[in-house]
Amino acid sequence: MIVLSIIEIILLIGVFIWIYILYQNKKEKSMRKARIVLISMTILIVITQFYIHKTILNKKEIIPASQVDTVAPIIVLNGEKEVKFRQNTRYIEPGYTATDDQDGNITDKVKVEREKVADDKYDLRYSVTDSAGNKSEVQTRTVIVEKNLEKDKSSSSTANKAGVIYLTFDDGPSLDITPQVLDILKDEDIKATFFVLNYGETKEYLINRIVNEGHTIGIHGFSHEYQEIYVSDEAYMNNITRLQEKIKATTGITTKYTRFPGGSSNTISKKYSLGIMTRLTQRLLEEGYKYYDWNVSVEDAGSSKTKEEVYNTYVSQLSKSRANIVLMHDFTKNNKTLDALRDMIHYGKENGYTFEKIDDDTPMITHGVNN
């Protein structure tokens, strides 16, 4: 805003009066001089106002040294600095409080970073910065994951499930393939597992049909885009919880079975977050999820281009000495797998295999983590 001084206003009024008197007396030559004077005054006022305001805007308030905030905030951890919890259970944060002499309670600004120390131990590092840029001392809480009998149980379960085939389908549901897959499974009296992606209203009936016909529904993810889901731990967890909540809203079931896009052994995640798969595989177990990779792949999203190749790849990888988790896909236009499915089931039945869906007793077949 331009604020004219009293002197500038008086001068402008004087010039306007002068021009008016000259106009009344029809003194053209003097009026030209008056106009020049008016224009010059206007330019001078504009320049003066510009520098005045520039000075005001650039002027910085000098804060006395006695008022400069140099005191760092303080974080206080609730509970013990070393806590233990059982594997496959959810870690419950005991809590913390952060206070600053100027900003007051700044607990909501605390950052918590997780650092792996060993396979069964990690540190939680708490830090906070106040509005003046002062950083607190980092407080550390050590979390110890107590092993339970899950691994022994899994090994025993694997032995008990020798010769069992778990048919699993990723990346559905699709309107063209999934209904026909369900029809074949119903005809053959086979239960399978579907690791689904996000779906719209037109596919809700397929989600309900999967559940109502006795199959297991699992979480593949709200999205399958690697650059979105593997950019951070929270991005991935949000990717599965969003779909988990949607499945519950559709079916009433809260599923805890999941499969990583690309599998837990994927290396593409290194492009987006180094070490993320190591962190996520542990975190899923801590939060009560079970994740499943596979030990049989029909390569229907890769090298297998025909139903014969799908079938032969499947047969060549089966083993009666273990549980067999078979990776397939029911994405749209995947007719090669659809066309091979009935023959794959017949082969299993005719050669002494049994078929089951994934449930709490299913051994957690996983790959080695490479990131």
In a domain, 213, yes or no: yes
Into how many domains does the chain fold?
A: 3
Q: What is the DSSP string of 84-144?
A: EEETTS------EEEEETTTEE-GGG-EEEEEEEETTEEEEEEE-B-TT-PBPPPEEEEEE
CATH number, domain with residue 310: 3.20.20.370
Task: Please identify which of the residues 100, 130, 170, 293 carries the catalytic annotation.
Answer: 170
277 and 189 inside one domain:
yes
pTM of the entire predicted model: 0.61
Task: Give residue for tokens 């005991």.
Answer: 94
122 and 25 inside one domain:
no
**Residue 84 to residues 88, 227, 280: CA-CA distances in angstroms?**
12, 34, 19
| pLDDT for residue 135 is more than 80 | yes
Instruction: Indicate the burial class of 7 (C-beta count within 10 angstroms; 0-12, 13-18, 19 or more).
Output: exposed
Taking only the tens place, the pLDDT of each residue in 200-251 is: 999 999 999 999 999 999 999 999 999 999 999 999 999 999 999 999 999 9
Task: Please identify which of the residues 215, 300, 329, 330 carries the catalytic annotation.
Answer: 329
Residue where a domain stops, chosen among 96, 114, 146: 146
Q: Which domain holds residue 246?
A: 150-355
43 and 177 inside one domain:
no
Taking only the tens place, the pLDDT of each residue in 203-216 is: 999 999 999 999 99
133 and 164 inside one domain:
no
131 and 168 inside one domain:
no
User: Which residues are CB-contacts of 234 (< 8 A; sequence separation ≥ 6)?
Assistant: none
- Whether 329 sits among the annotated catalytic residues: the reply is yes
**Residue 134 to residues 29, 65, 72, 98, 106: CA-CA distances in angstroms?**
70, 16, 5, 13, 12
pLDDT at 145: 79
Q: How far apart are CA 349 and CA 5, in angstroms?
A: 99
Is the C-alpha dihedral spanning 60, 65, 68, 72 positive or negative? positive
138 and 115 inside one domain:
yes
Amino acid identity at 295 = N
Count the Cβ atoms, other than its own, within 10 Å of residue 295: 17
- Looking at residue 332, what DSSP letter applies? T
Q: Label residue 121 by pLDDT band (50, 70, 90).
A: confident
In a domain, 364, yes or no: no
- Whether 53 sits among the annotated catalytic residues: the reply is no
In a domain, 369, yes or no: no
Percent of the chain exceeding pLDDT 70 equals 81
Q: How far apart are CA 116 and CA 133, in angstroms?
A: 28
Dihedrals phi, psi of 342, to nearest 5 degrees: -60, -40
173 and 82 inside one domain:
no
Q: Label residue 151 by pLDDT band (50, 70, 90).
A: very low
